[in-house]
A and B are shown apart, each in its own frame.
Chain A
Amino acid sequence: MALLRVEHMTHYFGGLRAVHDYNLEIEAGQIVGLIGPNGAGKTTIFNLLTGIHTPSEGRILLDGRPINGLAPNRIAALGLGRTFQNLCLWRHMSVLDHVRLAHYARIDYGLAGAFFGTARRHRQEARIEARSRELLELVGIGHLADQGVLNLPYGAQRRVELARALAVAPKVLFLDEPTVGMTPEELGQMMGIIRQLHQQLGLAIFLIEHRLKMVMELCQRIQTLVFGEVIAEGTPGQIQNDPRVIEAYLGKETVD
């Protein structure tokens, strides 16, 4: 049984068919990549799976449980953490608060705890803070915990998003172009972190990425999306040599 399974998902924005008959299976511990030219619908697929949009047709099963139609916060709480392509950080909050807040669904001290500062709240907040600091250490920015996010360099902001997504305790982690706009040095570090997370936590990861080198190195399986349809799926080796993929990226070879 696959951890995340998508069956025949199709989505229309008005009359526009953004995604057509999309299928996906991610097993526990697997890294799957989604590549495709700009505007192919990769982020739309992420938004459909995470509940920001509800697919027009098809089924999404997380750990055997149908999740389409659920609100994004429910889906996230069921075990789907994500990062965003263009950073979506909370500009007035500290790094630590970002990670703490992603524990929201597991807080059960209730409003009474929030209003009156009960002992239960203090215990729980202390646990959450300890775990948040661990996660920040894990992605290598433990020393920045008390900074405001806007003071951080770009690469560190990406890591905040990553730590925040991990705090949701995801079964599958969705990474939407985690290295976009990064320097080669930052890119190398990010790849190291993703690999480390994969090994240490045994996470299943679903990755959108433009840098083919990174996808080829990290992923066990790759899907190529063009105009909302998967045109090729297979191991990195298969994808690399697939003429349809080459055509999608480089255009058709014509001889005149």
Chain B
Amino acid sequence: MTKEAISPGRGPSAVRRILGPAPLLGLLTGALACVLIERFFGQQVSDLLHLPKMPVLFGILTISKVVAGLVNALFKGAAFEGIELLQLPAAGVYFAVVYLLPLIGVGRITAGAANRAAAALARMPLPASALVHLGLMYVTLHVWAGMSDYRLITLNLTLIAVLFTLSLNIINGYMGEFSCSHPAFMAIGAYISSLFTVGLFVDDKVLGKALVAMPMDYLTFPLALILGGGAAAAGALIIAIPSFKTRGDYLAIISLAFLFIVKSLFENLQVLGGARGIAGQPDWATLPVIFAVVVLGIWIINNFVTSTLGKALNAVRDDETAAEAMTVNTRRVKMTAFLVGAFWAGVAGGLLAHVLRYINPAMFGVQKLAEVLAMVYFGGLNSVYGSIVGAVSISLLGEALRPLEILKWIFIPLLLILVMIYRPTGLVAFRDFDLRKAMGPRTDSRPKV
């Protein structure tokens, strides 16, 4: 309701018009159909199209490989066979046949039934409806990621990036401060949770022999994540106390300093493996675990920012004096938001450590900072949707453009610059995430012109 009011005059988007009246439920069904088609016929389709192998990332990777080959041929004189150019249209056709057409087709065909189902779900309690949608989403992702290990690791890292980005959006977007210490919080989370899992349950060169041997030790993983998040929040307190005593831009400077301090601390703490870091984390961060934690994180953060307590963040950002005059305890608001952001960054770090099963201080430097800032500002400030869009698109682009090597670092920043010019607050900024509305039937909101 608020959303349309704040951005008036925006009709249904182009994507919406193509997909027609399909509700989220229908789109998820369509997506599931796509991945099932790929699962059973993907190989045949790619053979028919004479693709060297089944495209892993919707064909973008294939395209960028060909482009990279072309560039190398032009500038470095590397061998390039003209026949490879045929892969460009082939990858497009593959994407259309396997993903685009089934998604639109199934979405449109099932729109009526899906809308009725969505309406029935809407009458049920919100958690029930949410579980159905999430279940469908999970199955889709599971099938998609099940087709290659590369997809699985990309998906895992992308999900973690979503949580990480959203946790920074609380501070940089919702609260409008500029914090640079998020990779440090992630590092603290990664190290503390690794300390817990590796120290207790794994024989390790750095941390010594396992202290505990118990069955079903993976059940302690939530505790490890909470400890990691808690430690990150405690670290955040060190920044928050001096930075929020006064008004002004101290946070950016102090938090940047904190990032370097934490990184060099881990580099020099030989008990934690020094610059080589800690390896051998147990393989507990599987896709279902990550999916569950990320969904939980999004749910909690979204609850927070849509409550009146959370809206106080926006008030502090837009006019702090007015917020104070309207009984808002601005210092407490800022501290809370900062600590919440740090906590979830720590949790994301814990997940990351157990996906990669190896961490070292170099992973949490300025490059990580640049990456997460890009995700936040690209996706959109003050918006859960935005963080998801930003994290997913930058992660996938980063992966898909990998063959372009150095050109990737021209293409992605160029994209960022364009977004900053045409949508200065990001792609989907200032948008409330209304679960009930997102999952509801779309019969009542047909495009009106």
B binding-site residues for A, Cβ under 8 Å: 1-2, 5-8, 300, 303-304, 307-312, 314-315, 317-319, 321-330, 336, 382, 430
Contacts and interface: CB of A to CB of B under 8 A. Distances in A.
A125 B311 CA distance: 12
Interface string A156-190: 00000000110110000000000000000000000
Given A90-B314, A115-B300, A104 B308 contact: yes
A119 B1 CA distance: 22
Contacts of B307: 109, 113-114, 117, 121, 125
B116 to A, nearest CB: 27
For the complex, would chain B's binding face be called helix, strand, loop or mixed by DSSP majority?
Answer: helix
A13 interface: no
A240 interface: no
Contacts of B328: 73, 101, 104-105
Contacts of B6: 92, 94, 147-148, 151
Interface stretch (A18-26, A81-89, A213-221, A225-233): A81-89
Contact of A101 (B7, B321, B326): B326
A115 B304 CA distance: 5
A62 to B, nearest CB: 14
Nearest to B425: A92
Contacts of A117: 303, 307
A212 interface: no
A73 B382 contact: no
Contacts of A109: 307, 309
A52 interface: yes
A76 interface: yes
B426 to A, nearest CB: 13
Contact of B311 (A89, A97, A115): A97
A109 B304 CA distance: 12
A114 B312 contact: no
A72 B308 contact: no
A93 interface: yes
B281 to A, nearest CB: 28
Interface in A91-121: 91-94, 96-97, 100-107, 109, 111, 113-117, 121
Interface in A55-86: 71-73, 76-77, 81-82, 84
A51 B382 CA distance: 30
A168 B1 contact: no
Given A88-B322, A117-B307, A168-B326, 13 more contacts: A52-B321, A71-B329, A73-B326, A76-B325, A89-B318, A94-B5, A100-B311, A101-B308, A104-B308, A107-B309, A111-B304, A113-B309, A164-B326
Contacts, number: 127
A115 B303 contact: yes
B315 A90 contact: yes
Contact of A72 (B312, B317, B318, B324): B324
A92 B318 contact: yes
A114 B299 CA distance: 11
Contacts of B315: 90, 93, 101
Contacts of A105: 327-329
Nearest to A132: B308
A48 interface: no
25 contacts: A52-B321, A52-B324, A73-B327, A73-B329, A76-B324, A84-B321, A88-B319, A88-B322, A89-B319, A90-B322, A92-B6, A92-B382, A93-B314, A97-B311, A104-B312, A105-B329, A109-B307, A109-B309, A113-B309, A115-B303, A116-B303, A147-B5, A148-B2, A151-B6, A168-B327
Nearest to A150: B6
Interface string A13-54: 000000000000000000000000000000000000011100
A72 B326 CA distance: 8
Nearest to B329: A73
A196 B300 CA distance: 43
A156 to B, nearest CB: 14
A82 B323 CA distance: 11
A76 B2 contact: no
Contacts of B430: 92
A96 B306 CA distance: 13
Given A73-B330, A102-B326, A147-B5, A90 B309 contact: no
Contacts of B304: 111, 114-115
B312 A148 contact: no
A146 B2 contact: yes
Given A90-B319, A92-B430, A93-B315, A100 B327 contact: no
